[in-house]
């Protein structure tokens, strides 16, 4: 049994609380535990160098990626309506590698590590069953921004395929181009093809692993393609608040950095994508959640070893 710390929010306390919610072992993934890895290639666009000089994004390379379903349990059903999907991917070579962690909602559920830990603790199951609904309501009332992610997911039904889902890396990344000009961008991964979402009732009738089975079948039949987009920042954007979207974010200028082509299934149970791994030309986002995420991943990797 994991004993939860009672002090301030630290990478260790956040990881331990995530695992306590899922009743996960110390070496298990704390989040997005259930997933499948894939291989493919990355083909840069002729505009990538306008945005970044990072060779991860301006040069062709192999791709290692992982589709997943949020939660620390390996038994989360794929049809869970309000469950995030994840898409983590690695571009570049050994000298110019970048790992990007993206999800199926454009915002995070907390602004700061302290708020994140409080959010998670409010969701800890009671000894006799589910979390305390009164505690959940009180926390949400006092912290309304922590509902932005769930509200977005409730208003945007997910497609019945990992391959048809749009993913966002919710942080604002400083990108420096070939002219040494720096601006903030957000990464957005857009499927090339349809994104028709089935009625909720139809999704509930599918088997528990339908996302993973669909991914396997699609790759066996053809390649899966995504456009990797850079959403361009503007002065005054809320780059420190990952619970808020940028003004008019869905309609502002974007640049296609390249195309991710998924070609095969890969076995990678022990693999971890590290948000701290970014090749020169893409910097660390300045928000507190990214800093906590970097530290939490390091803590989790140390536990696994």
At residue 81, the pLDDT reads: 55
At residue 71, the pLDDT reads: 72
CA distances from 279 to 56, 96, 212, 215, 283 (A): 6, 5, 31, 29, 8
What span, in angstroms and rounded, lies between the C-alpha atoms of 192 and 210? 21
Three-class DSSP category at 90: strand
* pTM, full prediction: 0.90
DSSP string, 158-223: PPSSGGG--EEEEEEEEEE-TTS-EEEEEEEEEESS--PPPPHHHHHTS-TTHHHHHHHHHHHHS-
Q: Of 117, 105, 218, 111, which is closest to residue 166 (Cα–Cα)?
A: 105
Q: Are 277 and 99 spatial neighbours (Cβ–Cβ below 8 Å)?
A: yes
At residue 83, the pLDDT reads: 83
pLDDT along the chain (305 residues), means of 10: 54 84 64 87 98 98 94 59 87 96 97 94 89 94 96 93 96 97 98 64 59 93 96 97 97 97 87 91 97 82 65
What span, in angstroms and rounded, lies between the C-alpha atoms of 94 and 165? 29
At residue 148, the pLDDT reads: 97
What span, in angstroms and rounded, lies between the C-alpha atoms of 168 and 101? 8
Q: Of 131, 29, 189, 155, which is closest to residue 81 (Cα–Cα)?
A: 155
At residue 16, the pLDDT reads: 85
The H-or-E segment that residue 78 falls in is none
At residue 219, the pLDDT reads: 95
DSSP string, 281-303: TB----SHHHHHHHHHHHHHHHH
Q: Of 166, 177, 192, which is closest to residue 250 (Cα–Cα)?
A: 166
Q: In angstroms, how far is CA 265 from the centroid of its own chain? A: 20
The alpha carbons of the chain give a radius of gyration, in whole angstroms, of 19
Q: Are 197 and 160 spatial neighbours (Cβ–Cβ below 8 Å)?
A: yes
Q: For 77, which DSSP code?
A: -
What span, in angstroms and rounded, lies between the C-alpha atoms of 302 and 203? 38
The H-or-E segment that residue 147 falls in is none
- The CATH number given to 11-304 is 2.40.180.10
At residue 21, the pLDDT reads: 82
What span, in angstroms and rounded, lies between the C-alpha atoms of 265 and 267? 7
């Amino acid at each position: 049994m994991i004993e939860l710390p009672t002090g301030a929010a630290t990478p260790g306390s956040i990881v331990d609380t995530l695992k306590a919610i899922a009743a996960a072992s110390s070496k298990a993934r704390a989040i997005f535990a259930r997933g499948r890895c894939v291989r493919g290639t990355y083909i840069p666009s002729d505009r990538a160098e306008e945005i970044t000089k990072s060779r991860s994004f301006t040069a062709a390379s192999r791709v290692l990626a992982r589709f997943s379903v949020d939660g620390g349990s390996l038994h989360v059903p794929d049809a869970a309506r309000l469950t995030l999907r994840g898409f983590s991917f690695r571009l570049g070579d050994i000298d110019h590698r970048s790992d990007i962690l993206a999800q199926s909602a454009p915002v995070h559920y907390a602004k700061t590590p302290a708020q994140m830990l409080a959010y998670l603790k409010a969701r800890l199951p009671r000894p006799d069953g589910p979390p305390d609904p009164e505690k959940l309501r009180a926390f949400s009332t006092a912290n309304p921004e922590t509902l932005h992610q769930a509200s977005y997911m409730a208003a945007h039904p997910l497609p019945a395929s990992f391959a048809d889902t749009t993913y966002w890396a919710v942080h604002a990344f400083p990108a420096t181009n070939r002219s040494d000009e720096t601006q903030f961008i957000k990464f957005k991964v857009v499927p090339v093809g349809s994104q028709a979402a089935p009625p909720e009732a139809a999704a509930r009738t599918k088997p528990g692993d339908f996302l993973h089975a669909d991914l396997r079948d699609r790759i066996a039949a053809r390649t899966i393609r995504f456009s990797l987009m850079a959403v361009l920042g503007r002065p005054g954007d809320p780059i420190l608040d990952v619970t808020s979207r940028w003004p008019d974010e869905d309609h502002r200028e974007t640049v296609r950095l390249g195309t991710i082509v998924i070609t095969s299934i890969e076995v990678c149970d022990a693999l971890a994508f590290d948000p701290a791994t970014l090749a020169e030309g893409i910097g660390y986002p300045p928000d507190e959640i990214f800093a906590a995420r970097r530290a939490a991943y390091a803590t989790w990797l140390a536990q696994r070893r």
